[in-house]
Amino acid sequence: MSPQAPSGHPCKCNPNLALLFFLTGVIALIAGCTTVTAPSIDGANLLAKPRMNPGSCAIELLFVRFPLGTPEGNDQLWHEIDDSRIAAEARQLLWTNGFKVGIVGTAPPAAVTSLLDLKGENLAATGLSTESPVLPAVKVVKRHIQLPPRESRQIYLGEPAEELTLFVAEKSGVRGRSFAQAQTGFTLSWSPLPQGQVCLQVVPEIFHGQPRTKYAAEEGHFRLDFVRPRESFTDLSLSVALAPGEMLVIGCSPDRPGTLGYQFLVDNTEQKLLFIRLAQVQHDEVFCPEDFARLCGRDSLAK
């Protein structure tokens, strides 16, 4: 028979045992406490930084327009632009056709920052054309594009012309041709290089005639596209290595009206410059061409 408390006396706990339980609970409470930090309400931290599609790169296009022959967009500018990184043969052929090309590093020279007003707010809105407060006659338009692998992007330089006659100096000689409903532009594409760089390819082209329907195969189905015939001047194509933050600059000689560069980058009394800036890449120093081929769904870049 189990022992029972004497009649008329309630069961009492050992005071030492009660104190032990109390101290144990206090220790557990202290050990379980952690500092809780309120989430930041800074708008920049509320959302994670968006990621681009695998293998893509972000490119900023800066279109600059100014009166024909303006010194700030010609001699003063090109004295501070590095053209030594452009292959000599390509640079010579482009110059023969009236084009000027060069590279601007991650720390732009004074002539570039003044022309683009890089410290101002006029470039903040994509696609907005504004006047530079530094050089009021200069107008700058900014576009931001994301260029996935396997794809190219057409950059148009102006409105279509009813008819355009061009004479082009190529490796095989000079040839001329006329185009109806012609629009000048460039086609951009890229491929990866080590150390987070890319090789940017730029091809001058003429888009002409009426749009035509074209079927394109894509992931097991066919897509109907409307495309215009185009003439590609592959002898004048550019391939340059760029690191994030660097810019390729394409301009023309304002005193050579018969050249291809003049036809591309002069509109009546206005002259144009195109800055192509590599803004962001998805690969780094451990990225290799084999990774790029895998992202493109190919076994080898040579295919």
Mind listing the pLDDT tens digit for each residue in 151-203? 899 999 988 889 999 899 999 999 888 999 899 999 999 988 888 889 999 99
Q: What is the pLDDT of residue 177?
A: 87
Q: What is the pLDDT of residue 158?
A: 84
Kindly report the pTM of this predicted structure.
0.71
Residue with tokens 């202290």: 30
Q: From CA 186, how far away is CA 267, in angstroms rounded?
A: 16
Residue closest to 240 by CA, chosen among 193, 300, 281: 193
Q: 23 and 17 in contact (C-beta within 8 Å)?
A: no
- 214 forms beta bridges with 225
The torsion angles phi and psi of 106, rounded to 5 degrees, stand at: -70, -20
Helix and strand numbers, DSSP H then E, in the chain: 7, 15
CA atoms within 13 A on the CB side of 172: 5
Q: What is the pLDDT of residue 91?
A: 93
Q: In this structure, which amino acid lies at residue 103?
A: I
Helix (H), strand (E), coil (C) string for 97-119: CCEEEEEECCCCCHHHHHHHCCC
- 255 forms beta bridges with none
Positions of the chain with pLDDT under 70: 1-54, 118-136, 214-226, 283-303
> Around Cβ 189, how many Cβ atoms within 10 Å?
17
Helix ranges restricted to H, 47-176: 75-78, 88-96, 110-116
193 Cβ partners below 8 Å, 6+ apart? 199, 241
Q: From CA 246, how far away is CA 1, in angstroms rounded?
A: 93
